[in-house]
Amino acid sequence: MLSKQMEKALNEQIALEAYASFLYLSMASWCELEGLEGCAKFMHRQSAEERDHMLRIFNYVNERDSHALTPQIKQPPLKFKSAVTLFEQVYKHEQKVTASINKIVGLCYKTDDFTTLHFLQWYVEEQREEEALMRSILDRINIIGEGPQSLYYIDQEIEKINAAEEAAEAAGEEAA
């Protein structure tokens, strides 16, 4: 069984992951309205991934004979200034998620909860990958620059990332 302190921390993480899922879904909708199909597809994938992250923690809490809570989700923003600011917001949110995971890892050491520590190692690596991906997207956007025609090239770059992710997923399914 998890300590009450760990249960609370993990339930807070569940809420953070759920919010990320809805934030990215809102971003996908905005991208679709702006004609950024590649960006919309990317954000839909990110939304689904965040939901999976949430459910993984949710199930873990229950497996540990504790009580996973279904979070109340506040309304994420519906409009964004630009594709650039959208991806900057994604990067900042991923940094917030990383800080939260790191805080829980610290709690694991403080409370000698090595089972949860082991469980969270996947999240530590996942967050490193997420932050690196968002930084690379922002780097590409900065190289392309801002402007009406730039949106086309930004969307094309994101579509390349989508294609690479789909290929990696297909390769993983074939190996399984």
From the centroid of its chain, how far is CA 105? 18
pLDDT in tens, the chain (176 residues): 999 999 999 999 999 999 999 999 999 999 999 999 999 999 999 999 999 999 999 999 999 999 999 999 999 999 999 999 999 999 999 999 999 999 999 999 999 999 999 999 999 999 999 999 999 999 999 888 877 788 888 888 889 998 988 888 888 877 76
Please compute, for residue 42, the number of CA atoms within 13 A of its CA located in the half-sphere on the CB side: 26
pLDDT at position 169: 84
pLDDT at position 27: 98
Alpha-carbon torsion (138, 142, 148, 150), positive or negative: negative
Report the C-alpha gap between 119 and 113 in whole angstroms: 10
Report the C-alpha gap between 122 and 138 in whole angstroms: 24
| In the chain, domain spans | 4-175
pLDDT at position 149: 80
CATH 1.20.1200.10 fits 4-175, yes or no: no
pLDDT at position 136: 93
pLDDT at position 120: 98
Structure-derived torsion over alpha carbons of residues 47, 51, 52, 57, reported in degrees to the nearest 10: 140
Report the C-alpha gap between 82 and 143 in whole angstroms: 16
Unique residue bearing structure tokens 């949710």 = 58
Using an 8 Å Cβ cutoff, are 24 and 47 in contact?
yes
> Any residues with CB less than 8 A from the CB of 105 and at least 6 apart, and which?
117, 120, 124
- Tokens found for residue 64: 């540990």
φ, ψ (nearest 5 deg) of residue 113: -100, 80
